[in-house]
Amino acid sequence: MIMSYVKFWFLAVLLSVKVVANAETLKLATVEWPPFYSSSLPENGFYSALTKEIFKRAGYDIQIKFLPWKRALESARNGSYDGLLGAYFSEDRAKDFVYTEEVANNDEVFVQKKGKGITYSTINDLKAFKIGGMRGGAQVEELKKMGFNIDEAANSIPNMQKLAAGRLDLIIVGKQEFNFQLANEPVLHNFQNLFDVLEPPYKSFGLFNPITKRRPDAMEIVAKFNSALAEVKADGTYEAVLSRFGQ
78-102 pLDDT, tens digit each: 999 999 999 999 999 999 999 999 9
Comparing 5-19, 151-165, 184-198, the range with the smallest average pLDDT is 5-19
- Asked if residue 99 and residue 212 are part of one domain, the reply reads yes
Q: How confident is the model at residue 23 (pLDDT cuts 50, 70, 90)?
A: confident
- Asked if residue 197 and residue 111 are part of one domain, the reply reads yes
Q: Are 130 and 161 in contact (CB under 8 A)?
A: no
- Asked if residue 117 and residue 51 are part of one domain, the reply reads no
Q: Report the alpha-carbon distance of residue 143 to residue 56 in Å, rounded.
A: 37
Share of the chain above pLDDT 70, in %: 91
pLDDT of residue 123: 97
pLDDT of residue 37: 98
Examine residue 112 and state whether it is found in any structural domain, yes or no.
yes
- Asked if residue 219 and residue 143 are part of one domain, the reply reads no
- Asked if residue 201 and residue 110 are part of one domain, the reply reads yes
Examine residue 4 and state whether it is found in any structural domain, yes or no.
no
Examine residue 5 and state whether it is found in any structural domain, yes or no.
no
- In 10 A of CB 214, how many CB atoms? 16
Number of separate domains in the chain: 2
Strands 104-113 and 170-174: antiparallel
Examine residue 13 and state whether it is found in any structural domain, yes or no.
no
3-state SS, the chain, equals CHHHHHHHHHHHHHHHHHHHHCCEEEEEEECCECCCECCCCHHHCHHHHHHHHHHHHHCEEEEEEECCHHHHHHHHHCCCCCEECCECCCHHHHCCEECCCCCEEEEEEEEEECCCCCCCCCHHHHCCCEEEEECCCHHHHHHHHCCCEEEEECCHHHHHHHHHCCCCCEEEEEHHHHHHHHHHCHHHHHHCCCEEECCCCCEEEEEECCEECCCCCHHHHHHHHHHHHHHHHHCCHHHHHHHHCCC
- Asked if residue 154 and residue 63 are part of one domain, the reply reads no
- Asked if residue 128 and residue 76 are part of one domain, the reply reads no
Identify any residues that bridge with 212 across adjacent strands, giving them in sequence order: 97
Q: What's the whole-model pTM score?
A: 0.88
- Residue 82 domain boundaries: 20-103+208-244
User: For the domain that residue 66 is a member of, what is the CATH number?
Assistant: 3.40.190.10
Examine residue 1 and state whether it is found in any structural domain, yes or no.
no
Examine residue 7 and state whether it is found in any structural domain, yes or no.
no
Angle between helices 156-164 and 175-184 in degrees, nearest 10? 70
